[in-house]
């Protein structure tokens, strides 16, 4: 978490998750409502761009996890940022 009171996604204490800030800086804009940043290797402390993947919606992120769990989709192995 990073202190950034001015960010529209910061929590009530003024903190935002670092991976969101890193992805936004890389794409040159704020994330749109509903967009989700996913850690490809499932390590939330690994915020390298090559480990981050942008899902267009919360639903698509949930579907991905559900389908991977039941072997219906291949795991994401490459960033789309």
Over residues 5-53, the pLDDT tens digits come to: 999 999 999 999 999 999 999 999 999 999 999 999 999 999 999 999 9
Is there a contact between 43 and 14 (Cβ–Cβ < 8 Å)? Answer: no
Domain boundaries, the chain: 2-69
Question: What is the per-residue pLDDT for 72?
Answer: 81
pLDDT > 70 fraction of the chain, expressed in percent and rounded: 100
**What residues pair up with 39 in beta bridges, in sequence order?**
52
Of 21, 15, 23, 59, whose CA–CA distance to 40 is shortest?
A: 23
The residues near 51 (Cβ < 8 Å, ≥ 6 apart) are 39, 40, 41, 43, 79
Q: How far apart are CA 73 and CA 75, in angstroms?
A: 6
Question: What is the per-residue pLDDT for 68?
Answer: 86
Mean pLDDT, the chain, integer: 96
């Amino acid at each position: 978490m990073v202190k950034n009171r001015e960010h529209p996604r910061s929590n009530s204490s003024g903190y935002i998750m670092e991976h969101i800030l890193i992805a936004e800086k890389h794409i040159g804009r704020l994330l749109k409502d509903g967009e989700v940043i996913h850690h490809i290797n499932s390590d939330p402390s690994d915020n390298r761009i090559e480990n981050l993947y942008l899902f267009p919606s919360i639903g698509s992120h949930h579907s991905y996890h559900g389908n991977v769990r039941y072997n219906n989709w291949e795991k994401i192995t490459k960033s789309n940022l």
